[in-house]
Chain A
Amino acid sequence: MQTLTYEFPASRPAARRTHVGVVGSGDLEVLMTPADGTARVRVRTSVDGFDTVWRTVLERFFARNPVAADFELNDFGATPGVVVLRLRQAIESGSSQGGTEGAA
């Protein structure tokens, strides 16, 4: 298990906190809490040695979606595709037009 932290500049504030996903095989859970000016990401992952892949995936995601919030990711071996889907789900359900907290 490895804990990684990252910070990215973010201009778009999240409207509300949201929780998606499960710490199950090939999946992860995301807890998003609104914050100011920065996207702070803490990743706890069951798979060691993928620091660079995480940085690349997250950099690309927050370049396109500069959502200002704290993101806590508890990962159980999700692929980059699943990580991006869960992050997108989190920011969608945490936006002002989004669904309710913990929709999935």
Chain B
Amino acid sequence: MTRTDWQAMLRRTSFIELNARQRARALLDDGSARELCGPFDRIESPWLEPQGVVPQSDDGVVVMKGALDGDPAVVVAVEQAFQGGGIGEVSGVKMATALSLAARDTRAGTPTPAVLLLETGGVRLQEANLGLAAVAEVCSAILELRALQPVVGVIAGSLGCYGGMSIAAALCTRLIMTEEARLGLNGPEVIESEAGIEEFDASDHPLIWSLDGGRQRVGTGLADTLVLDDVTALRTAVIDAVRAGMPAEQRSRRIKELRAALEAVDPARPPEPAALADVWARAGAKGDGR
């Protein structure tokens, strides 16, 4: 599915062009999706209006229970158009609670894997420490559920996944990306403003994608599956990732490999992005080929 051929281009339905609610519905089986804490529950952020920012009725996170290929699942989708997908107190707690409830349902006899659609710049700066705490709760809830059921992360684009939420992405059992998607701890503009344009030129899109893009992240084993921006391709990849069940060892626990990866790179003379996969493979750092 990664090769872009004309027929596939013409037939496909873009996933990137969907909003968060449409994305969550598109992944679940037809007619099975049921939204929790939806817009009419009006659980919006109490911190935005006092700062002169218009809130959104769902605080930018959509929680959808339903069936995935016939079995129960929960999908949590971040809306990238609202405040850059920033995670605040309410949106973060919605995600963390959905994961904890999936763990509770699993323990009670209804296995409930989770799918996280992560288009986010990380913590919403207007909510500062509350946002940081919420991201920590999300990470902790991922750890709770992934011991019982797969937690599948999807970064489809076009925003990408940065900041604290990139840590959440790295904790996922499996990570699916498109070529348009990006994944990194510090966003390009943060690096440029902190370290200067000599260190990183945030207007250089080929540079950004050569480092943070889906192809590079999958090629270097930091993500698992590269898919075409297509609703059917995404849904198939998500179903496959859930069906694959629990890995022998979670990526974030493969400390030896991650340490080898760090040791194989000299920060004073970093390799070309295209050479990184080879450098890491020689160092025995790359993932187990999943």
A interface residue numbers (CB < 8 A to B): 1, 17, 19, 22-25, 27, 29, 31, 33, 44-46, 72, 74-76, 102, 104
Query: Interface on chain B toward A: helix, strand, loop, or mixed SS?
Result: loop
Within the complex, the shortest CB–CB distance from B252 to chain A, in Å, comes to 32
Considering the chains assembled together, what is the distance between the CA atoms of A46 and B81 in angstroms? Answer: 15
Within the complex, the shortest CB–CB distance from B80 to chain A, in Å, comes to 8
Task: Tell whether, in the assembled complex, residue B54 and residue A102 are in contact, meaning their CB atoms are under 8 Å apart.
Answer: no
- Mask, B239-262, CB within 8 Å of A = 1, is 000000000000000000000000
- Among B32-40, B179-187, B230-238, the stretch that binds chain A is B32-40
Q: Is B57 an interface residue (CB 8 A)?
A: yes
Of chain B, the residue at the smallest CB distance from A103 is B22
- Mask, B1-35, CB within 8 Å of A = 1, is 00000000000000000011110000000000001
B55: which A residues are within 8 A, CB to CB?
23, 44, 74
Considering the chains assembled together, what is the distance between the CA atoms of A16 and B83 in angstroms? Answer: 29
Given A27-B81, A29-B39, check contact A104 B56 (CB 8 Å): no
Within the complex, the shortest CB–CB distance from A37 to chain B, in Å, comes to 21
Query: Interface on chain A toward B: helix, strand, loop, or mixed SS?
Result: loop
Q: A17-B40, A22-B20, A46-B54 are in contact. List 20 more A-B contacts (CB 8 A).
A: A1-B52, A1-B53, A1-B54, A19-B40, A22-B56, A22-B82, A23-B60, A24-B81, A24-B82, A27-B81, A29-B39, A29-B57, A31-B39, A45-B54, A72-B57, A74-B56, A102-B21, A102-B38, A104-B19, A104-B22
B266: which A residues are within 8 A, CB to CB?
none
Task: Tell whether, in the assembled complex, residue A74 and residue B40 are in contact, meaning their CB atoms are under 8 Å apart.
Answer: no
Task: Tell whether, in the assembled complex, residue A31 and residue B54 are in contact, meaning their CB atoms are under 8 Å apart.
Answer: no
Task: Tell whether, in the assembled complex, residue A74 and residue B38 are in contact, meaning their CB atoms are under 8 Å apart.
Answer: no
Number of A-B contacts (CB under 8 A): 54
Within the complex, the shortest CB–CB distance from B248 to chain A, in Å, comes to 40
B interface residue numbers (CB < 8 A to A): 19-22, 35, 38-40, 49, 52-57, 60, 79, 81-83
Task: Tell whether, in the assembled complex, residue A23 and residue B54 are in contact, meaning their CB atoms are under 8 Å apart.
Answer: yes
A24: which B residues are within 8 A, CB to CB?
79, 81-82
Can you list 23 A-B contacts (CB < 8 A)?
A1-B49, A1-B52, A17-B40, A19-B38, A19-B57, A22-B19, A22-B20, A22-B79, A22-B82, A23-B54, A23-B55, A23-B81, A23-B82, A24-B82, A27-B81, A29-B39, A29-B56, A29-B57, A74-B55, A74-B56, A74-B57, A76-B54, A104-B19
B57, B79, B83 — which one has the most chain A CB atoms within 10 A of its CB? B57
B22: which A residues are within 8 A, CB to CB?
104
Considering the chains assembled together, what is the distance between the CA atoms of A75 and B56 in angstroms? Answer: 9
B81: which A residues are within 8 A, CB to CB?
22-25, 27
Within the complex, the shortest CB–CB distance from A25 to chain B, in Å, comes to 7
Question: A33 contacts which of B21, B40, B54 (Cβ < 8 Å)?
Answer: B40
A23: which B residues are within 8 A, CB to CB?
54-56, 60, 81-83
Task: Tell whether, in the assembled complex, residue A74 and residue B21 are in contact, meaning their CB atoms are under 8 Å apart.
Answer: no
Within the complex, the shortest CB–CB distance from B15 to chain A, in Å, comes to 15
A22: which B residues are within 8 A, CB to CB?
19-20, 56, 79, 81-82
Within the complex, the shortest CB–CB distance from B69 to chain A, in Å, comes to 22
A102: which B residues are within 8 A, CB to CB?
21, 35, 38-39
A104: which B residues are within 8 A, CB to CB?
19, 21-22
